[in-house]
Amino acid sequence: MDRPTAVIVLAAGNGTRMKSKLSKVLHPVCGRSMIGHVLTAALTVDPEYVVAVVGHGRDEVGPHVRQTAPGALLAVQESQDGTGHAVRVGLDALSAVAGSPEGTVVVMAGDTPLMEGSTIAALVAEHGSAGRAVTVLTGEVPDPHGYGRIIRDEHDGVAAIVEEKDADPQQAAVREINSGVFAFDGAFLADALTRITNDNAKGEYYLTDVVGLARAGGRPVGAFRIDDVMQTEGANDRAQLAGLGAELNRRILTRWMREGVTITDPATTWVDADVVLAPDVTLLPGVQLLGATVVAEDAVIGPDCTLKDVEVGAGARVVRTHGELAVIGERANVGPFSYLRPGTYLGADGKIGTFVETKNARIADRAKVPHLSYVGDAEIGEGSNIGAGTIFANYDGVAKHRTTVGREARTGSNNTFVAPVRIGDGAVTGGGTVVRRDVPPGALAVSAGQQRHLEEWVLRKRPGSAAAEAAAAALATGDGEPAPAGGTSHPAAPEVASETHSERQSGEPQPPIA
Q: Which residues are catalytic?
A: 371
State the nearest-atom distance from the C-beta of 235 to Ca ion, in Å: 9
Stretch that binds ligand UD1, among 81-89, 95-103, 385-393, 395-403 (CB under 6 A): 81-89
Residues from 233 through 262 that contact Ca ion (CB under 5 A): 234
| C-alpha closest to that of 512 among 471, 436, 464, 460 | 460
State the nearest-atom distance from the C-beta of 20 to Ca ion, in Å: 16
Question: Is there binding between residue 50 and ligand UD1 (CB under 6 A)?
Answer: no
Cite the beta strand spans of 93-209 per DSSP E: 104-109, 134-140, 149-152, 158-162, 176-185
- 56 versus 320: smaller Cβ distance to Ca ion: 56
Question: Is there binding between residue 177 and ligand UD1 (CB under 6 A)?
Answer: yes
77 touches which of Ca ion, ligand UD1, none (CB within 5 to 8 A by kind)? Answer: ligand UD1
- 81 versus 309: smaller Cβ distance to ligand UD1: 81
Stretch that binds ligand UD1, among 152-160, 200-208, 323-331, 479-487 (CB under 6 A): 200-208
Nearest residue to ligand UD1, using CB? Answer: 148
Contact 412, 431 (CB under 8 A): yes
Which 8-state DSSP code applies to residue 413? T
Give the Cα-Cα-Cα angle 112, 118, 119 (nearest 5 degrees). 55
Residues from 208 through 237 that contact Ca ion (CB under 5 A): 234
CA dist., res. 275 & res. 288, Å (int): 10
Stretch that binds ligand UD1, among 205-213, 284-292, 294-302, 486-494 (CB under 6 A): 205-213
x-marked contacts with ligand UD1 along 9-48 as a string, rule CB under 6 A: -xxxx-----------------------------------
Q: Kindly give, in sequence order, each residue whose CB lies less than 8 Å from that of residue 205, ignoring residues fewer than 6 positions away.
A: 81, 82, 83, 84, 85, 88, 193, 196, 197, 198
Containing H/E element for 444?
strand 444-445
Contact 36, 108 (CB under 8 A): no
- 234 versus 412: smaller Cβ distance to Ca ion: 234
- Residues β-bridged to residue 418: 393
Contact 63, 56 (CB under 8 A): no
State the nearest-atom distance from the C-beta of 159 to ligand UD1, in Å: 14
Number of residues that bind ligand UD1 (CB under 6 A): 26
Contact 15, 24 (CB under 8 A): yes
Residues from 172 through 211 that contact Ca ion (CB under 5 A): none
Q: Distances in Å between the alpha carbon of 235 and those of 21, 27, 49, 111, 274?
A: 16, 10, 26, 6, 21
Residues from 209 through 248 that contact ligand UD1 (CB under 6 A): 234
- Of 23, 83, 384, 413, the one binding ligand UD1 by CB under 6 A: 83
Q: Kindly give, in sequence order, each residue whose CB lies less than 8 Å from that of residue 377, ignoring residues fewer than 6 positions away.
A: 359, 360, 361, 392, 394, 400, 401, 402, 403, 419
State the nearest-atom distance from the C-beta of 107 to ligand UD1, in Å: 9
- Of 5, 77, 344, 404, the one binding ligand UD1 by CB under 6 A: 77
Q: What is the largest CA-CA distance in the chain?
A: 114
404 touches which of ligand UD1, Ca ion, none (CB within 5 to 8 A by kind)? Answer: none
State the nearest-atom distance from the C-beta of 202 to Ca ion, in Å: 12
CA dist., res. 221 & res. 133, Å (int): 6
- Of 178, 288, 338, 358, the one binding ligand UD1 by CB under 6 A: 178
x-marked contacts with ligand UD1 along 103-122 as a string, rule CB under 6 A: ------xxx-----------
CA dist., res. 405 & res. 438, Å (int): 10
Phi-psi region of 216 (alpha: psi -120 to 50; beta: other; left: phi over 0): alpha
**Which residues sit at the interface with Ca ion, rule CB under 5 A?**
234
**Which chain residues interact with ligand UD1 by CB under 6 A?**
10-13, 53, 77, 80-83, 85-86, 109-111, 147-148, 161, 163, 177-178, 180, 206-208, 234
